Amino acid sequence: QKEVEQDPGPLSVPEGAIVSLNCTYSNSAFQYFMWYRQYSRKGPELLMYTYSSGNKEDGRFTAQVDKSSKYISLFIRDSQPSDSATYLCAMSANTGRRALTFGSGTRLQVQP
């Protein structure tokens, strides 16, 4: 079983829709939770960063972490064609030495 599970999609929505992307994880030591966005043939770029449980909002994007359920979500409001990309969740148990553990990514297509 993978430490981080993510539905690969693809997920296709019309422009303006609300998008929900999710990941589950098994390691209760994870404290840092991130969402990376990856456009085709590009490297991932950080989109959202959350420490421990709770919500964080940045413009049209909201990240939620529920540590009791080991479940994280990314919501995109008023989705745009430019949001079409692969979204990778990532998490880390501590600061410093260890690198991130990534989900396999969900491919999102926003239809104009």
Partner 1 sequence: NAGVTQTPKFRVLKTGQSMTLLCAQDMNHEYMYWYRQDPGMGLRLIHYSVGEGTTAKGEVPDGYNVSRLKKQNFLLGLESAAPSQTSVYFCASSSTGASEKLFFGSGTQLSVL
Residue 103 sits in the site that holds partner 1 (CB under 8 A): yes
Q: Between 3 and 73, whose beta carbon lies closer to partner 1?
A: 3
Which residue shows structure tokens 């972490």? 65
Query: Is residue 11 a contact partner of residue 105, using CB atoms and an 8 Å limit?
Result: no
- Diameter over CA atoms, the chain: 43
Q: Which of residues 19-78 bind partner 1 (CB under 8 A)?
A: 31-32, 36, 41-46, 49, 51
Report helix, strand or coil for 56: strand
Shortest approach of partner 1 to residue 104 CB, angstroms? 4
Strands 4-6 and 101-102: unpaired
Q: Which residues bind partner 1 (CB under 8 A)?
A: 4, 6, 8, 31-32, 36, 41-46, 49, 51, 88, 90, 92-100, 102-105
